[in-house]
Structure 1
Amino acid sequence: MSLLRTLFFYIVFFPATIFFSLVAVIGRNQASSHWCERNWGRVVVWLCASTDRVDLSALDENQTYVFMVNHQSFYDIPLLFKHLAPWKFKFVAKKQLFDFPVFGHAMTAAKHISIDRENRRQAMRDIQNAIDTADNGNSPLIFPEGTRNPAPEKDGLMEFKTGGMVLAIKCQKPIAPVVMYGVNKVCRKHSLWMNPFQEIKIKALPPIDISGYKVRDRNKLKEQLAEVMGAAYAELKDE
């Protein structure tokens, strides 16, 4: 049954991804992009048939946040598009992802935030783009670990990067920590092989007010965020 579902996933996934990406590119407006992202996420989650236990009760749908989410696999992306649909959020992602054919063009059309890690001057412009995004009511979404965690079951969360903290402080919006558990069971790092029928847990933690933080406090914020998200991850694991 699982193998048949996996094969069915691939039969539908690639045409659906191309369709929604092309609609986003052709539409080139935020309404069509949000529609494509939300519905692509729903389709992919339906194809994977994961059982999602989601608690976002700590968040206000009318508030703009800087989302901070732990990162385990490619499957994080459709899950977030589906379950964070009430917020028009924008991924903060490395520049190379925007170079992918079709999908990368759709990310550009949707105005997700590219970060050039190899060009400091461009990176500063990218941070300003994130600030402008937040000021316009769109919530930047950051993976503070910086990359997908290859062994979350064994190691818990990886060390957070200070770059995400700097961006969050400059945006001056509340941080909304969101912890996900079990996503790596669906799809592991460096793999597109999908394992259906897995249980996923997603929990939003109380927002963190950063109005009193300055850039010089980035390490303090990193440690605070890592502590609360790490504790929540351990709780989800033990449930």
Structure 2
Amino acid sequence: MSLLDSVRVLGAMARVTAPSLLDLARGNLDRARVDSRAHWFGERVIELLDIKLNVVGRERVPAGGAYVYMANHQSHLDIPISYAALPSPTIRMLGKTELFQIPLWGRGLRAAEFIEVDRSNHHRALESIEHAARLVRDGVSIWLAPEGTRSRDGTIGTLKKGGFHLALDTRTPIVPVAIAGTIGILPRGTRVMKSGQVVDVTIGAPIQVEGREIADLMTEVRDFLVQHVEGP
């Protein structure tokens, strides 16, 4: 493990946050700029940490539509890895309040239309889902972790209903995304990153939600994640 690797990643974060805040001050921060910087950040993290990224299933996701991407959650690195792996050009993430409390970074996230989820406040959590729904209706794909928190051991936890309500209310297909290996780079409880690791991302085919029951959707998504993260 290397503290230097962590510092380099923080430097890359600053390189996307600073110009976004400057654009915000000038009144010219738009989605295209955010998209470009987010994808650059994902690719840069992979380069800095010498991650061997294997992606399966990009071709399963048709171009041109908005999706609700549902990924398992092993590490803070799941987000940049997803930007590098997923095919949709415009994706915004639901993230916990703690990420938005990081100086400057949090302000940049809000300006870029990332969505803060306060799990301790039910009313604010519902407002976050409504915010996500507005973005989806505007053609923006949403990434979320239905477990609601990072796994301590890499196994798949219980899924929460919020993201499934979002998909059902907006009639947006769900794309399950299994991420394996990020826990070996930056596990929960540490800030020091380990380079040279293998990360496997498996993208499922879009799941149509119309006429489906929420319990069935939750089971289908969780089964996919378990199969591709934990194995048979």
Fold conserved between structures, TM > 0.5: yes
Secondary structure of the residue that 2:60 maps to in structure 1? Answer: coil
Question: How many angstroms does 1:141 deviate by?
Answer: 0.8
Secondary structure of the residue that 1:57 maps to in structure 2? Answer: helix
The Cα RMSD (Å) is 1.8
In structure 2, the partner of 1:172 is: 171
In structure 2, the partner of 1:93 is: 95
1:49-60 map, 5 Å: 49-55=50-56, 56-60=58-62
Q: What residue identity is the alignment partner of 1:138?
A: V
Moved over 6 A (4+): none
After superposition, what is the alpha-carbon deviation per residue over 1:130-155, rounded to whole angstroms, capped at 9, x for unaligned? 11100111111110111111101xxx
In structure 2, the partner of 1:30 is: 31
With over 3 angstroms needed to count, the CA separation of the structure-2 counterparts of 1:7 and 1:85, relative to structure 1, is farther
Question: How many angstroms does 1:39 deviate by?
Answer: 1.1
Secondary structure of the residue that 2:205 maps to in structure 1? Answer: coil
For 1:119, which of 100, 118, 121 is the aligned residue? 121
Moved more, 143-152 or 51-60: 51-60
Contact 2:16 2:41 in 1 (8 A): yes
Question: How many angstroms does 1:85 deviate by?
Answer: 5.7
Question: How many angstroms does 1:43 deviate by?
Answer: 1.2
Secondary structure of the residue that 2:37 maps to in structure 1? Answer: helix
Larger helix share, 1 or 2: 1
In structure 1, the partner of 2:229 is: 233
In structure 2, the partner of 1:104 is: 106
Question: How many angstroms does 1:199 deviate by?
Answer: 1.0
Question: How many angstroms does 1:20 deviate by?
Answer: 1.1
1:127-138 map, 5 Å: 127-138=129-140
With over 3 angstroms needed to count, the CA separation of the structure-2 counterparts of 1:85 and 1:231, relative to structure 1, is closer
Contact 2:3 2:192 in 1 (8 A): no
Moved more, 84-93 or 17-26: 84-93
1:149 and 2:151 correspond: yes
In structure 2, the partner of 1:184 is: 183
After superposition, what is the alpha-carbon deviation per residue over 1:139-177, rounded to whole angstroms, capped at 9, x for unaligned? 11110111111101xxx2111112222222222110000
Gapped runs of 5+ residues in structure 1? none
In structure 2, the partner of 1:208 is: 207
Secondary structure of the residue that 1:180 maps to in structure 2? Answer: strand
Contact 1:70 1:143 in 2 (8 A): yes
Gapped runs of 5+ residues in structure 2? 24-28
CA distance in 2, matches of 1:102, 1:234: 37
CA distance in 1, matches of 2:104, 2:51: 26
Secondary structure of the residue that 2:158 maps to in structure 1? Answer: coil
CA distance in 2, matches of 1:180, 1:30: 26
In structure 1, the partner of 2:197 is: 198
With over 3 angstroms needed to count, the CA separation of the structure-2 counterparts of 1:85 and 1:33, relative to structure 1, is farther
Question: How many angstroms does 1:7 deviate by?
Answer: 4.8
